[in-house]
Amino acid sequence: MEVPDPLTPPLRFNVVQENLYRGAYPREINFKFLKSLQLETIISLTPEPITPETDIKLYEFAIKNNIRLIHLECSQSGKGKKRGVPMGYTTVLEALDYVIHKNHYPIYIHCLNGGQVTSLVIACLRKLQFWSLISIFNEFINFTTSITVNDRNFVEGFKGQININPDNKVDWLWVGMSKGVIENHPKIKVTEI
């Protein structure tokens, strides 16, 4: 009897919210698992986009499975306690624009190792969801070896404008929040379009 190939998730894979997944750069061994998620979008928070020249196997996997590849350029920030933040708020806001609109779902969001870069975007999503900083940073350190002062300052200072199409907004974004609270977010200007 032939044993079927096991489903192998990417390194640091996890479910963020319903149909929103996070982890490390997908490798060929992860394709069968990712296919089982019926993804519509892969958001790559990496220095280089996924193209036939940079990663033919992942590119062909996405094309074959009708998965939209979105690249948001992020640098590698280095290692250690003084590592920098590999992106700006504009990049995070771009990522969140995909994440909060359900026409892109299911989504897999990844960086190279599934650690700091992806965690920064998810931390800013949690801030948009009105999570406490303690809860945000507890989730953050589950996927990284440490959280630096730079990481904390980036998340604490996160601000910008989010434009939301209420007919396309994911259902889980502000469960239990009243309308007046959302429009008065202390750091993020939320506008319905």
DSSP 138-178: HHHHTSSS---HHHHHHHHH--EEEEE-TTTB-TTTTTT--
The H-or-E segment that residue 125 falls in is helix 116-128
* 74 assigned to active site: no
Question: Among the options 67, 96, 111, 125, which is catalytic?
Answer: 111
What tokens does 118 get?
A: 């992806």
Report which DSSP code applies to 15. Answer: E
Reduce the DSSP state of residue 171 to 3 states and report it: coil
CA atoms 170, 124, 126, 112: torsion sign:
positive
Catalytic residue numbers, as ranges: 111
